[in-house]
Chain A
Amino acid sequence: MPNRYFAARHSNALPVGAAVKAAAFDYLAPRTLDQALTALSAHGDDAKLLAGGQSLAPVLALRLANPAVLIDLNRVAGLDRLQTDGAGDMHVGAMVRSRTLELSPEIARAQPLIHAAMPWVAHVQIRNRGTLGGSLSHADPSAELPAVAIACDAVLTLRSLRGEREVAAESFFKGLFTTALAQDEILTSVRFPGWPATRRCGFIELARRHGDYAIVGVALTVDIDDSAKVTAARLVLFGASDMPMRARAVESALIGERADSALAARAASAAAAGLDLRSDHQASAEYRRELAQVLTRRALVQAFSAPAATVAGAPPGIAGGQQ
């Protein structure tokens, strides 16, 4: 299912002979998390969770999946909260919509990388429905939010009737449309650690048209001390391979070095090292390698030149064309 879906979604073209109406399914709209977990446990593989529906509805319309039951999480109480705890960590409920993340002043202030990434996520009508938890659980390799979650070192809370566990974003993604979620688990919230004053971020992607999935994109955070040296870095490439991946060679080339454009150029040359780059109708692996290096350098320059604790990425313009 995922590969056919991926091709259909990313080419904006229907497979030959595709249906565009979903097959029949039963619909459950639980009001509490326990009801949702019970339903999921009872129906197992026959059920699909419905969050924002912006990826699932096309999958159903194209009949790439035919679940017997949809469990709609939209009416489950308590999944759409956005709050900061005493330690400064931000807890974002799985059903918080992309549009809420985009417009939240609290996110803009406390989690600048999320704020920088949101204008790149699809289009306003999609962001009005799409959710954080839906995007992470769907695990599209070209989606922005999974990469942002890894770059922020976010921690995901997964619930089932068996209990609750926490999984780091970096361990959550297992491959193309594949995550650590067990069949009976629901992603309920995501904790984004507090943002230190020394941290800066960069976000950039290239797509053929604004709002399309990225061919390649970069989300990164760097910590820079008083003497302008990089003390920590998390740099994530998305769209390049089957899942968002940290560019560890770039990260280690940054540590202890002075944050300037020469370092950005030097470190970026290692951007695609060790990655299994994808080749598809949009771009060859070779082109993605080149793009990974160019975009990594630009994202690093963004982060290095931004004042600390402000948003690095400028919202994408349309009139100006590709950045």
Chain B
Amino acid sequence: MTHQIHLTVNGEAVAREVEPRLTLADFLRETLDLTGTHLGCEHGVCGACTVVVDGRSVRGCLMFAVQADETSVVTVEGLAALCPQRGDAVRRGEQQLSVLQDAFRQHHALQCGFCTSGLLTTAHALLAETPDPTPDQVRLAISGNLCRCTGYIPIVEAILDAARRLRE
């Protein structure tokens, strides 16, 4: 049996029929074709599928799409365009990046990029809640996101730099 859900994804109203067992992450990727949300472990360990639901970061693989009925979801695709409170987006050639995304770029806070969307959504929710985090608060906030390339140091630097730029 399928269920009709109505939600907002990156500012756009979306209505779809979903099977109950479809996770929010699979819904975003397979149904809406928003493949910026990545799936690593699919059982809540790696954090790659983190999206923001009603302002809070959640594991997209541990929530069913049917539970996102009447919520507002932001994915990595929505960060640049839909977040005026995050300061002016930055233009780099044809690409528009949020301040946070631009800081990741400047600080080389990614290598293979697999974990990046989950880190960006996690950090986005952190900075909305805590505009002036300490380095330890940043490390705690991203402790549920596994990155196997960077060693995390440039990621922490990027988030702290973005916080500074957004406060100015």
Q: Which A residues are closer than 8 A to B by beta carbons?
A: 8-9, 12, 14, 20-27, 29, 53-54, 57-58, 60-62, 70, 72, 74, 99, 119, 122-126, 128-129, 209-211, 315-319
State the CA gap A124–B59 with chains docked (Å).
10
**Is B143 within 8 A of A211, CB to CB?**
yes
Chain B residues with Cβ under 8 A from A61's Cβ? 23, 42-43, 61
Given A58-B44, A61-B42, answer yes or no on A128-B67 (Cβ-Cβ < 8 Å): no
- Bound together, the chains give a CA A71 to CA B140 distance in angstroms of 33
Please tell me if the beta carbons of A53 and B136 are within 8 angstroms of each other in the complex: no
Q: In the complex, which residues of chain B have a beta carbon less than 8 angstroms from the beta carbon of A316?
A: 140
Task: Specify which chain A residues have a CB less than 8 angstroms from the CB of B3 in the assembled complex.
Answer: 27
Interchain CA distance A99-B44 in the complex, whole Å: 17
- Which of A23, A26, A29, A317 meets B136, CB within 8 Å? A317
Tell me whether A211 and B44 are in contact (CB under 8 A).
Answer: no
| Minimal Cβ-Cβ distance residue in A for B45 | A12
Q: Number of B residues whose C-beta is below 8 Å from A?
A: 34
Interchain CB contact under 8 A, A54 and B44 = yes
Q: Say yes or no: is B21 at the interface (Cβ < 8 Å to chain A).
A: yes
B contact residues vs A (CB 8 Å cutoff): 1, 3, 19-21, 23, 26, 41-45, 47, 50, 56-59, 61-64, 66-67, 122, 125-126, 135-136, 139-141, 143-144
Q: B-side binding surface: helix, strand, loop or mixed? A: mixed
Residues of B within 8 A of A70 (CB): 20
Give A124 to B141 CA distance when docked, in angstroms: 6
| Inter-subunit contact A125/B21 (CB<8 Å) | no
Question: In the assembly, what is the distance between CA of A61 and CA of B61, in Å?
Answer: 9
Tell me, in angstroms, the Cα distance from A319 to B42 when the chains sit together.
Answer: 28
Q: Smallest distance from the beta carbon of A20 to chain B beta carbons, Å?
A: 4
- A318 near B136 with CB under 8 A, answer yes
User: Are B140 and A57 neighbours in the complex by a CB distance under 8 Å?
Assistant: no
5 closest Cβ pairs, A-B complex: A123-B144, A27-B20, A58-B43, A20-B42, A57-B62
11 extra A-B contacts, CB within 8 A, seeds A21-B26, A122-B144? A26-B20, A53-B67, A57-B61, A123-B144, A124-B140, A128-B57, A129-B62, A211-B143, A319-B135, A319-B136, A319-B139
Decide if A21 touches B57 in the complex (CB within 8 Å).
Answer: no
Q: Are B58 and A128 in contact (CB under 8 A)?
A: yes
List of A residues within 8 angstroms of B26 by Cβ:
21
